[in-house]
Amino acid sequence: MSTTKFLLPEDRIPTTWYNVVSDLPKPLPPMLHPVTREPVTEADLGPLFPPELIEQEFSTRTDVDIPGAVLDVYRQWRPAPLVRARRLERALDTPARIYFKYEGVSPAGSHKPNTAVPQAYYNKKAGVERLTTETGAGQWGSSLALACSYFGLVCEVYMVKVSYQQKPYRRALMETFGATVNASPSELTASGRAALAADPNATGSLGLAISEAAEAAINSGGKAKYALGSVLNHVLMHQTIIGQEAVLQMELAEDYPDVVIGAAGGGSNFGGLALPFLREQLRGGRSVRAIAVEPSSCPSLTQGTYEYDFGDTAGLTPLAKMHSLGHDFVPPSIHAGGLRYHGMSPIVSALKDLDYLEARAVPQTACFEAGVTFARNEGIVPAPESTHAVRVAIDEALACRESGESKSILFTLSGHGHFDMQAYLDYFAGKLED
Amino acid sequence: MSTTKFLLPEDRIPTTWYNVVSDLPKPLPPMLHPVTREPVTEADLGPLFPPELIEQEFSTRTDVDIPGAVLDVYRQWRPAPLVRARRLERALDTPARIYFKYEGVSPAGSHKPNTAVPQAYYNKKAGVERLTTETGAGQWGSSLALACSYFGLVCEVYMVKVSYQQKPYRRALMETFGATVNASPSELTASGRAALAADPNATGSLGLAISEAAEAAINSGGKAKYALGSVLNHVLMHQTIIGQEAVLQMELAEDYPDVVIGAAGGGSNFGGLALPFLREQLRGGRSVRAIAVEPSSCPSLTQGTYEYDFGDTAGLTPLAKMHSLGHDFVPPSIHAGGLRYHGMSPIVSALKDLDYLEARAVPQTACFEAGVTFARNEGIVPAPESTHAVRVAIDEALACRESGESKSILFTLSGHGHFDMQAYLDYFAGKLED
């Protein structure tokens, strides 16, 4: 009858991040320099990231200590709850057991602060004064703004102009946390000025905002560095706090997932949940089905090719071997802004290539339908990105109803939809296109 | 250095509500019938409320059992965290210890579900099919919509038309939870039709929305009842779950508040925190300063008179003895919509009259300034209503800096501001008036 939370005591919060790279059956293909096409070195990344994050990016150590100052911040909202969705199970009339790990309890409302906080911390420690970043819908920008406010760093966000204009409340959240938000393209960088010279009415793109943010860091004389919210190895590693907690909470629930599910844009949310469960399997132990869910309008894992590609549109970043739709692919403007990325993290891509995980692409209308079902039964309005995981979790539970199997299904509810209610209004009004 | 959460184990959640009426030094003056001016009877309230809520409204029992089905829902987000605001203390350079009880963790984002859930439960139990209510800014409407979705009740919300138009996202939240939202004045009730006949462009008022919601319940042939989100005795009683948890959490913190602070519109948030602490004092034990904070533009406790007045504008509801600015008082349209009520709960009013609590009125600009300071240090953006408590908590902490005293200060952060970011944008733009 009741929804059951599995709360981990604060003193059982994991104190290390899990680095899956150490358990991969073969080494991860290195990133390549955009000009020389040689493997990227730690020195190459110096202008962008502080030393300890670069070290983590290349690290093959299995367990990396979480600094005490980062744990202190994590403890503001972590351990995040793991909830048995009993009302949803009943509504679906399924024998399946459905669990969700809820990351919307963070002050920014998503899983993104799990990496924003250590990134801000290591930059502060390295004497950096300012962090630059890009943001589309604003989930990442608001998380980095929050993290910077904790550590006394200046935060400078380049927000895709069309979002800047259409999502004033996300911008207001960043500003409330003390960040400076610039509409991109801006007059502040050469890339921005070039774009405006070409088209004074340009509404921007994530690729261009990345260029502006990186340029601002590189030209800061060492005072500023750049921060990225997904894709990279160190980002996925920081997010394993999600799955490590979930492993312990499933023990509290005296259960183990048959399937773990997460929405995948750059891959850090999905990886954050799935990697600590896949660890067992990578070591020859208990196996689990891991399903990465992507929008059918931006299907990098299901339709992309596994090859070297640039991380940004302009081809300024290193190349990574990843499932990609091509760095010039422009996804349609679906509401799940966090899933509109042409590529996929190298770690998730490699695991897909090695058949350690499944990928599924779903259209957005079916996702919002699942999101509303979830909200009416569990009381939480999912972010548009998170509805993708909800959709597949519900589909798996309905399959159990057909087959009569009582599977254990676990998904990440990566964030709440409080800043995305226009998407729900559009869904109710029948305005969404698939 | 760190922010410290005091989490109560789930099995220590209080299982009874505290009814302060039993501890008052003299009986609470009865409500009076609007026509006869005789004390209201339980039968008089029958068309509006189910039997068990009416019984609670008149009850003088001290501890009232929380039904198991209500506790099951409470457990989705309760016990709510009590947090030591160490970063804020450091930013203010104060020797004071500042704690806040955070009610924004509920799925609707405020303390309102604490009473919406039992109200929905008792109505369902009594065979009611539909609940009607009014809402201004939308906090209460979304909480009742949530509660109705849990118990399979139809929820019908009359939302003041100006808010309906200006706050589409709050409306979207209610609709996502499955509620029907009508702009008030509507064509659905005689009161609404009369208002539209008088002025086809009428933008509505909370008083008129109350009339429409009550009328819809009364004319439903018993299928629908009405629900109110503050003011009444049973509502304040339900909210004492806040303060009862806080009493236990302050024990975990090995501290006791010198002062407890809450924003007061109808009084249920403030009362919810303060009453369980005042219980000791009412019984001759340990005393505490309790400060109810109201907007200087709607100062019922600091400027109103303590006399019998109607609960609504039209004079259709019973009269209650309360601090009131007059039932025809129309407060300016400040952003803290939840504090725009002409009266104050009879319980809080009586305690004020008996000198058990202080009241303070603060202008909204100073409140938003405090809200931004809080957000930048503690990471949570407070609802406009909650910034009133933050303001006074900060003022008390600054007074400690002056005096060198190390007081213990506790306030309710009654909700987050995710649906109120326009207010912050207006504040940053210098558009707010006091």
Tell me which of B175, B386, B421 to substitute to probe the interface with A (most A C-beta atoms closer than 10 Å).
B421
Residue A355's alpha-carbon distances to A25, A31, B151, in angstroms, are 12, 22, 43
Q: What is the pLDDT confidence band of residue B2, given thresholds at 50, 70 and 90? A: low
Distance CA A4, CA A6 (A): 7
Question: Which chain B residue has its CA at the smallest distance from A371's CA?
Answer: B176
Distance CA A301, CA B259 (A): 56
Across chain B, mean pLDDT equals: 94
Phi-psi region of A209 (alpha: psi -120 to 50; beta: other; left: phi over 0): alpha
* pLDDT value at residue B7: 84
The neighbouring-strand residues paired with A17 are A64
Distance CA B190, CA A263 (A): 49
In this structure, the strands spanning B358-362 and B82-84 are unpaired
Closest approach of B300 to chain A, Cα-based (Å) = 30
Read off the tokens for B2. Answer: 């760190």
Give residue A393's Cα distance to chain centre: 18
The size of the A-B interface in CB pairs under 8 A is: 121
Phi-psi region of A93 (alpha: psi -120 to 50; beta: other; left: phi over 0): left
* pLDDT value at residue B1: 40
Distance CA B55, CA B46 (A): 11
Distance CA B107, CA B139 (A): 11
Tell me which of B1, B99, B146, B169 to substitute to probe the interface with A (most A C-beta atoms closer than 10 Å).
B169
What's the average model confidence in pLDDT over B265-274?
97
Closest approach of B279 to chain A, Cα-based (Å) = 30
A284's CB contacts (< 8 A; 6+ apart) are none
C-beta contacts of B423-429 below 8 A and 24+ residues apart: B423/B335, B423/B368, B423/B384, B424/A172, B424/A175, B424/A176, B424/B368, B424/B371, B424/B372, B424/B381, B425/A168, B425/A169, B425/A172, B426/B335, B427/B365, B427/B368, B427/B369, B427/B372, B428/A172, B428/A175
* pLDDT value at residue B387: 98
Q: Given CB atoms, is B109 within the 8 Å cutoff of chain A?
A: yes
β strands within B92-143, DSSP E: 97-102, 130-135
Read off the tokens for B290. Answer: 């309790």
pLDDT over 80 at B334, yes or no: no
ipTM value: 0.92
* pLDDT value at residue A2: 52
* pLDDT value at residue A416: 96
pLDDT over 50 at A378, yes or no: yes
Total Cβ atoms within 10 A of residue B284: 7
Q: Which one of A3, A73, A146 has the shortest CB-CB distance to B76?
A: A3
With residues binned 3-state (H G I as helix, E B as strand, rest as coil), the percentages for chain B, rounded to 5, are 45, 20, 40
Q: Do B107 and A380 touch (CB under 8 A)?
A: yes
Asked whether A231 and A382 are in contact (CB, 8 A), the reply is no
Instruction: Say which amino acid occupies B6.
Output: F
Question: Worst-scoring range by mean pLDDT, B162-171, B229-238, B344-353?
Answer: B162-171
Q: Do B428 and A175 touch (CB under 8 A)?
A: yes
B428's CB contacts (< 8 A; 6+ apart) are A172, A175
Distance CA A395, CA B426 (A): 43
Three-state DSSP at B359 gives: strand
Q: Do A376 and B177 touch (CB under 8 A)?
A: yes
- Which of B269, B197, B280, B199 has the alpha carbon at shortest distance from B235? B269
* pLDDT value at residue B205: 84
Percent of chain B residues past pLDDT 90, beyond the cut: 87
What's the average model confidence in pLDDT over A62-80?
95
Residue A365, H or E segment: helix A364-378
* pLDDT value at residue A187: 97
* pLDDT value at residue B333: 75
What's the average model confidence in pLDDT over B355-359?
97
* pLDDT value at residue A142: 97
Distance CA A106, CA A110 (A): 6
Q: Given CB atoms, is A147 within the 8 Å cutoff of chain B?
A: no
Distance CA B279, CA B91 (A): 33
- C-alpha radius of gyration, chain B, whole number: 20
Q: Given CB atoms, is B305 within the 8 Å cutoff of chain A?
A: no
Q: Given CB atoms, is A83 within the 8 Å cutoff of chain B?
A: yes
The neighbouring-strand residues paired with B335 are none
Q: Which residues of A touch B149 (CB under 8 A)?
A: 375-377, 379
Closest approach of A110 to chain B, Cα-based (Å) = 13
Q: Do A76 and B5 touch (CB under 8 A)?
A: yes
Distance CA A433, CA A295 (A): 12
pLDDT in tens, B216-245: 999 999 999 999 999 999 999 999 999 999
Across chain A, mean pLDDT equals: 94
Q: Do B422 and A377 touch (CB under 8 A)?
A: no
Alpha helices in A167-298 (DSSP H): 168-176, 190-198, 206-218, 233-252, 268-282
Distance CA B144, CA B114 (A): 10
B166's CB contacts (< 8 A; 6+ apart) are none
pLDDT over 90 at B338, yes or no: no
Instruction: Say which amino acid occupies A46.
Output: G
Q: Do B7 and A5 touch (CB under 8 A)?
A: no
Distance CA A262, CA B327 (A): 53
Phi and psi (nearest 5°) for A15?
A: -110, 5
Q: Which one of A76, A418, A428 has the shortest CB-CB distance to B379?
A: A76
Q: Do B75 and A3 touch (CB under 8 A)?
A: yes
Q: Given CB atoms, is A153 within the 8 Å cutoff of chain B?
A: no
DSSP category for residue B297: T
Q: Which one of A75, A176, A424 has the shortest CB-CB distance to B372?
A: A176
B230's CB contacts (< 8 A; 6+ apart) are B140, B265, B266, B267, B268, B269, B341, B345
* pLDDT value at residue A133: 97
pLDDT over 90 at B126, yes or no: yes
Question: Worst-scoring range by mean pLDDT, A370-374, A417-421, B240-244, B349-353?
Answer: A417-421
Residues A117-138 as b/e (b if ≥16 CB within 10 A, e otherwise) read bbbbbbbbeeebebbbbbbbbb
Give residue B115's Cα distance to chain centre: 9
Read off the tokens for A389. Answer: 């995981």
Q: How far is the first Cα of chain B from the last one, in angstroms, to the nearest whole number?
A: 35
Q: What is the pLDDT confidence band of residue A335, given thresholds at 50, 70 and 90? A: confident
Distance CA A354, CA A283 (A): 14
pLDDT in tens, B27-49: 999 999 999 999 999 999 999 99
Question: Worst-scoring range by mean pLDDT, A122-131, B164-173, B302-311?
Answer: B164-173
Please report where in the chains the tokens 């400076």 appear, as a residue. Answer: A180
Which residues numbered 47-76 in B keep a CB inside 8 Å of some CB on A?
69, 72-73, 75-76
β strands within A264-347, DSSP E: 289-295, 305-310, 319-324
